[in-house]
Structure 1
Amino acid sequence: MELGLQGKTVLITGASQGIGEGLARSFGEEGCHLHLAARSGDRLEAIKSEIVSSNGVEVTIHAMDLSLPGAAAKLAAEVGDIDVLVNNAGVIPSGNLWDVDEKKWRDGWELKVLGYINLTREIYPRMKARGGGVIINNIGNGGEVFDPDYVAGTTGNASLMAFTRAMGGHSLDDNIRVVGVNPGPVDTDRIYNMLKKRARHWLGDEGRYTELQERYPLKRPAHVHEIADLIVFLASYRSGYTSGTIFTVDGGIASRRSVI
């Protein structure tokens, strides 16, 4: 299927690993020019080199911490006009209310929740001024499953779901689409770290984390491409009537009412 993304310019935050890295490669394969933002400049340089070599597109890296004051405005000024923004940076710590102290909670929200909001605030008017664009928020199915052992994350993700719907409900008036994606467990280091923590708490041995993985649909987390490919499609004109909604990709886990 031709997605019509050739030559589009895409900004991806949190692009140095996991889903963000997968997105960078997938958009590069579609012929998109890329702005990649993350803290790890070395890792971004390596990804840039591989994408440019394979696809011949332009890739600009932005090694920065988006949780810092003024970072969103700085990044928006650096990238200039873009067609697609994928908010992807940030990991909110797991744990219950007493595991996640105020500092950890605030730090997690500063990068992911406020990071998405602040960058949207900067990018949206620029998209409107040049005639339109697409903003996709990679959120997480914790926003649908209110798990007390992921209390900071479930609360933050639910906030971003509400933010996405609130913005996307009227954004097509400005020819901008705002959409959210809620992945469940994905085959990245993050999910295995979370499983090990749960196994330690629930089973007394983090080495038994594979027993928890057996509960997943197909007995595995999602492959990165199963998330990235959807986001690339949502960014394309093929999904041109899609805004103000959230797509959950978790093999049905949220419908079981459990994040595991």
Structure 2
Amino acid sequence: NNAGAIRGGDFLTIPDAQWAGDWSLKLLGYVRMARAVFPRMQAQGGGRICNVIGAAGRNPTPGYLPGGVANAGLINFTKGLADLGAPSNILVTAVSPAATATPRWDMLMVQQARAAGKPPDVFRAEAEKAYPLKRIARPEDVADLVCFLVSARASFLTGICVTVDGGATRGVYP
């Protein structure tokens, strides 16, 4: 499962319709897709679902509350769906990437640099310094993990959420 991005913004000015629309796109999109494939997976004796969520589910930021709340809900959904699917050998996992070098990231960097009055390359370098590995994720960093999680080599993994953030998460999770 992977859906479009939720927009950020100022908590006090984001209208309810934006919250509802963004949650419908992401949260309900994942629910609908899982509901569509679950019966077939049960009938065939198993399957794999990997939800691509987002690091904001565990690392909330004031400017991205709608996304963080939806992502936290999807982490919960992943665990609950994994418990539901386990008796049918349906393994459900999640990957929560932080910033990833995609065209969307490039667009966000240009927009945020403009808002901060800085050149985009300077703004981007400052953003990447915040990561212990001094870079953001490459798409293949995320894709390789997803491929592993849906492979036979991950046959004992279900109900987990792996954050792909180059060590940026400051919390410790069980």
**TM-score, normalised with respect to structure 1:** 0.60
User: Alignment length, in residue pairs?
Assistant: 170
User: Which of residues 162, 167, 173 in structure 2 aligns to 1:252?
Assistant: 167
Kindly state the Cα deviation for residue 243 of structure 1 after the two structures are TM-superposed.
0.5
Q: Distance in 1 between matches of 2:43 and 2:152?
A: 19
Match of 1:154 in 2: 68
Q: What's the secondary structure of 2:100's corresponding residue? A: coil
- 1:185-221 C-alpha deviation (Å, 9 max, x unpaired): 11012223333444455x3446342222332333221
Call closer, same or farther: CA 1:117–1:155 in 2, change over 3 Å.
same
Give 2:130's aligned residue. Answer: 215
Deviations 1:113-165 (A, max 9, x none): 10001111111111101111001100010000111111111011001001001
User: d(CA) in 1 for partners of 2:135 and 2:14?
Assistant: 27
Does the CA-based 8 Å contact 2:133-2:167 persist in structure 1? no
1:182 paired with 2:96, answer yes
Q: 2:148 aligns with which of 222, 233, 243?
A: 233
In structure 2, the gaps of 5 or more residues are none
1:142 counterpart letter in structure 2:
A
What residue number does 1:121 align with? 35
User: After alignment, is 121-130 or 214-223 more displaced?
Assistant: 214-223
More displaced 10-residue stretch of structure 1: 130-139 or 170-179? 170-179
Determine the structure 2 residue equivalent to 1:89: 3
Partner of 1:115: helix, strand, or coil?
Answer: helix
Structural mapping, 1:97-108, within 5 Å? 97-108=11-22
Matches within 5 A, 1:1-260: 87-201=1-115, 203-205=116-118, 207=120, 208-210=122-124, 211-255=126-170
Bigger proportion of residues as helix: 2
Give structure 1 stretches of 5+ with no counterpart: 1-86
**Aligned partners of 1:150 and 1:198: how far apart in 2?**
14
Compared with structure 1, are the counterparts of its residues 225 and 158 closer, same or farther at alpha carbon in structure 2 (3 Å cutoff)? same
| Residue pair 1:171, 1:243 contacting (<8 A) in 2 also | no
Q: Percentage identity across aligned positions?
A: 38
Cα shift at 1:99: 4.8
Contact 1:199 1:212 in 2 (8 A): no
Alpha-carbon shift at residue 110 of structure 1 (Å) = 1.4
Q: 1:217 to 1:198 in 2, by over 3 A?
A: farther
Provide the secondary structure at the position in 1 that maps to 2:166: coil
